[in-house]
Amino acid sequence: MGETPKSDPATSADAASPPKRRTSRVLRGFYALFRLGVLALVAVVISGAVFALVRPVEAERLWIAFQRHVRMEFAAFGMALPGTPDLADLHGRLAAHGLALGNPIFMRIFKREFELELWMMRDGRFHRFATYPICKWSGELGPKLREGDRQAPEGFYTVDQTALNPNSAWHRSFNLGYPNTFDQSHGRTGSFLMVHGGCGSIGCYAMTDPVIDEIWRIVTAALRGGQPRFQVQVFPFRMTERNLARHEASPLAPFWANLKAGSDLFEAGHIPPRVSVCDRKYAFEAGQEGYDGSGLVSAGCPGARSVFPSP
C-alpha cells in the first residue's frame, strides 16, 4: 500500500488561513498606501506654499501655465470651463438682475484670474451681470510692446461697431483697439488684438465659441441700442494693494499703479472713468451718474480731479 503524502505545514497553514485574515492584510496594505499618498500630498502643498511665499512671482507664473493647460484640455473635449454661466438661460439671468438686452455695457479683463467681467447699466450705474472664464491668453503679465511679442494688451480701450467681426477665423471677435493713444505715445506696435472664440491665442483673449456667442448678443444689442462704443479695462490681475505689492520690484510697477488709479475710480461708484493720456500716462476723471464709458481715450490733460499714482 502506498503511503499518504504528508502536506507542508506552512502551506497547510496558509491554505487554512481564514479569508477574513487575508482581507485584513489587503486592507492594511491599502491603508498604508493611502497614508503615504496623503503624506506626499501634504508635502507637495507645504512645498508649494513655501515656494509661493519665497518666490511669489515665479509661483504665479507656474500657476498661469497650469491654468492654461487645464483650460485647453476642457476645450479640447468640448466641455464648458468651470465658472461658465448658464448660457442657455440668458434672458432668465438678465431678468434676475433687472437688466435687458440693449442696456449700455462695460467690460473688465483680468489676466491672472482668467476672467472677463461684463457689466450692464441700470439706474445710471453699472451692475456686474456675468463673469466669464477666459480659455486662453498668451504671453506673460504685462502690456503688449511690439508686433510679434505674443503679449496680450493691458490698458483702457474702447470698442465700437466697426471693431466687430462676425466672420472671424475664431468664430466671432471684436478688436480691442490696440494700439490706443497711450500705446502710441510709448511707441508700441501691433494690430488685430481681439477678444474672440475658440481657445487659441497669439496676443488675444480666447473665450470659447459658446461664450463669445453670448457676449456677442449683449455687445451688438448695446451698440444697436445707442451706445456709441463701450469701455474695456484690461488688467494683469485684480488691482489690490496685495497684488501690487507682490510685483513692487517689477519694472512694470509704475505702469500697473497707473492702471490701478482708473480701476479704483470705477470701484468707487461703478461708473467708468473718463480716460485721457497726459504726459504719456493715463489720466482719469470720475464719470458722472449715467455716463456709459463711451468717451474715446484721447490725448489731453484733464482738470483738478485727475488721478495719478504717486511717483
- Of 205, 207, 153, nearest to 177 by C-alpha is 153
Of 135, 171, 196, 247, catalytic: 196
Angle among Cα 41, 47, 52 to the nearest 5 degrees reads 125
| Catalytic residue chosen out of the listed positions 204, 270, 278, 301 | 204
196 catalytic per annotation = yes
Query: What is the spatial distance between Cα 140 and Cα 162, in angstroms, rounded to a whole number?
Result: 29
Q: What share of the chain is helix, strand, coil (3-state, %, to 5)?
A: 40, 20, 40
The cell numbers describing 305, all together, are 480731479
| In contact, 293 and 231? CB cutoff 8 Å | yes
Residue 204 among the catalytic residues? yes
Position of cell 501690487? 244
d(CA 264, CA 110): 14
Question: In terms of C-beta density within 10 A (0-12 exposed, 13-18 middle, 19 or more buried), how is residue 233 classed?
Answer: buried
Q: Give the whole-angstrom CA distance, residue 247 versus residue 169.
A: 36
Do residues 213 and 224 lie in contact, with contact meaning Cβ atoms separated by under 8 Å? no
* Cβ-contact 142, 154 below 8 angstroms: yes
Find the helix or strand (DSSP H, E) in which 143 lies.
none
Active site residues: 196, 204
